[in-house]
Amino acid sequence: MSPTGSLATAASPGLLSPHLDGLGVTLTADGGRLRLWSANADSVELVVFDRTDLDWITEELPLAPIGGGVWEITTPSLRVGARYAVRVGGPHTTGVMFNPRTLLLDPYAKGIVAGGVRDWRSAVVDESFDWGGVAKPAVSLDRTVIYEGHVKGLSKRHPLVPPALHGTYAGLAHPAMIDHFHTLGITTIELLPVHMFESEPRLLQHGLSNYWGYNTLGFFAPHAPYATQASRLEGPSAILREFKGMVRLLHEAGLEVVLDVVYNHTAEGEIGGPRSSLRGIDNRSYYRQHADGAYIDVTGCGNSLDTSTDAAARLVLDSLRYWANDVQIDGFRFDLAPTLGRDAAHSFTPDHPLLRAIAEDPLLADVKKIAEPWDVGMGGWQTGNFGDGWHEWNDRYRDRVRNFWLSDVDYARRASTAPVGIGGFATRLAGSSNTFSAERGPLGGINFVTAHDGFTLRDLVSYDVKHNLGNGEHNRDGADTNRSFNHGAEGPTEDAFILATRRKAVRNLLGTLLLSAGVPMITAGDEYGRTQRGNNNSYCHDSPLTWLSWEHAPWQQDLFAHVRRLIALRAENPALRPSRFARLDEHTPSASVMDWYDEHGETMSSERWSNPSHRTMQYVATSTPELEASNRVLLMVHGNERPVEVTLPEIDGVRRFVSLWSSADETPAHDERVFAPGDVVPLVGTSMHLFRAE
């Protein structure tokens, strides 16, 4: 029973209600104060353990109800270094899973330690840290280039990172890694989940593990195995200190840190899974359920956090506030974000109180908020539908760009013509104005061609189908629709023509990504053509298959030079990174006015946009000065495998065109050849060429 004597049914007081303040452990002059929320419990007990023997209980103390579903205790036993758990008792009725003998994690614990397999304890940590006056880099969105990577995989094999730091928080911030980030030119590192997580039993039975980390145990504690051995031996306070040290060093280098956060579900899995925290604290209030207690699973992971309840929504908000302020994180990418925006009827709404609170909270004002705008429930695909203050992974961009350079070309080889013209591709290149509102502009979208989930860029041009047998699911897992193209051979080949065509396809994809309006995201390793041997769902491989290799063939060094050049060109040319959509016959600051020409230098006709036999265009973007000097670029795009000659257009105020980059070059040229309006530029099949218009 709840403190009021019945299951909680009162109207919601709002997720910002003061009665939800101060949950978790707060250190005071009288010791630690623990507050826990459980609307339907009738008893809560604190269990304190010996620091070295986590099976040795030293104290068992009751918490008292203080109203609003909150239970509290203050005790000198809750001091820095203390290991503790809670036990929660309650009624036996549909949808609840109280067991007063089960040891549970505090949902607000900032440290988590293992007592054995699937046996966890919360830990009180020392949160003090000297930031040395280092501030967040605060990179503007138009200049942001995101680099998505894995804490362990990034440095695990780097030869200049000391072995003791391989695959750790400290290793990620080592000078050798920072030098790579600086040389490449990225501004923002997006890390796969770093909240404490565990591997599913099924994976362990197959000798595999959850490498990606989308199986969260606690929303406040950093994942301990990513810390150095020295920090792990010292304990949770040292692990947190190492994490903060990583952030400080990256900030000193001008690099932002964005976390991929998994608030949509937890490691407790489906009914019958572990009762490690929320399920035992108040299952009915924390997880989405039918009236009979069966879970409503919109995540595909067994459970879905019910953010229509104030306490569950507040748990998410408090976690974000902690990481953004106490740990100085620069932004968050929200896994399966529509789940967080589902109401009590389990329908998505962009005005959900939690989504608006995240966007409008002054404590989160300076962080980037990026939604993965889909989950697997009804109405789960919501690209473009998140409100102001949100940015979204643009899967429509991903699919159109892959189609244009890969599956359309494959189709044309079979049918002698591509299935569609260039119009849809041009819309994505110009910022996806058909997806994001004028108020949100092109920066509403995070453009990407690959991500951790799916083929690497090299595999995208090397495989027609997935090769996931190593995952132990008989190749049933992973996406079947990849919009990939192997260019004539499945996987490894020694055919020089196929290899050259694949390399050019990679350059076209990267060129499109880094020259498009919107915020680009590169997947770590794609700058060197990393392969996972056709596995498009490598979540369960903690091995050289997923760790970055730092030994590169000459063609990989050339590819790196292309990516570095493209990122630099993006930074140097504001016309490539508008903050707003231009409006017809209006002066819009920080927009790019876009004009379109065909291969003859004539204005594109409506027939040319849609004709699949004419997949060549010239895209001219002219910046509207606000914070930077005026700038104009011209990008030629040729989308079939026949070579073509392109005539540069006559444009008022343009005397010459300076060559900046071409995807046809194996090594990027820096000669900046000069052309005049009316000159003819030859393009090889499926290629791009960028010019500055002066």
Write the pLDDT tens digit of every residue in 22-38.
Answer: 999 999 998 999 999 99
Q: Which domain holds residue 669?
A: 587-693
Q: Is residue 225 part of a domain?
A: no
What is d(CA 450, CA 522) in angstroms, rounded to the nearest whole number? 7
Specify the pTM: 0.97
Query: Packing angle between helix 496-515 and helix 554-572, nearest 10 degrees?
Result: 20
> Catalytic: 256?
no
Strand pairing class (657-662; 188-191): unpaired
Residues 472-491 have a mean pLDDT of 96
Alpha carbon 365 to its chain centroid, in Å, reads: 19
Q: Are 219 and 107 in contact (CB under 8 A)?
A: yes
- φ/ψ of residue 447, rounded to 5: -80, 140
Q: Tell me the pLDDT tens digit for each residue of 272-299.
A: 999 999 999 999 999 999 999 999 999 9
Cβ neighbours of residue 31 under 8 Å, at least 6 residues apart? 74, 75, 76, 77, 78, 79
Domain boundary among 64, 91, 123: 123
Q: Is residue 116 part of a domain?
A: yes
Q: Is residue 162 part of a domain?
A: no
Q: Tell me the pLDDT tens digit for each residue of 196-235.
A: 999 998 899 999 999 999 999 999 999 999 999 999 999 9
Q: 335, 392, 526, 527: which one is catalytic?
A: 335
Q: Is residue 427 part of a domain?
A: no
Q: Look at the block and give the residue holding tokens 């070059």.
A: 665
Q: Is residue 521 part of a domain?
A: no
Residues 453-460 have a mean pLDDT of 98
> What amino acid is encoded at 301 in this protein?
C
- Identify the residue with better confidence: 626 or 561: 561
Predicted confidence (pLDDT) at residue 437 exceeds the cutoff of 80: yes
Domain count for the chain: 2
What is d(CA 336, CA 380) in angstroms, rounded to the nearest whole number? 9
Q: Tell me the pLDDT tens digit for each residue of 629-658.
A: 999 999 999 999 999 999 999 999 999 999
- Label residue 605 by pLDDT band (50, 70, 90): very high
Q: Is residue 222 part of a domain?
A: no
Classify the phi-psi angles of 449: left when phi > 0, otherwise alpha if psi is within -120 to 50, otherwise beta: alpha
Predicted confidence (pLDDT) at residue 80 exceeds the cutoff of 50: yes
> Catalytic: 641?
no
Per-residue pLDDT, 13: 57
DSSP H or E stretch at residue 244: helix 236-252
Q: Is residue 64 part of a domain?
A: yes
CATH of the domain at 98: 2.60.40.10
Domain boundary among 68, 101, 123: 123
Q: 106, 142, 297, 372: which one is catalytic?
A: 372
What is d(CA 232, CA 167) in angstroms, rounded to the nearest whole number? 14
Domain boundary among 90, 123, 156: 123
Q: Is residue 78 part of a domain?
A: yes
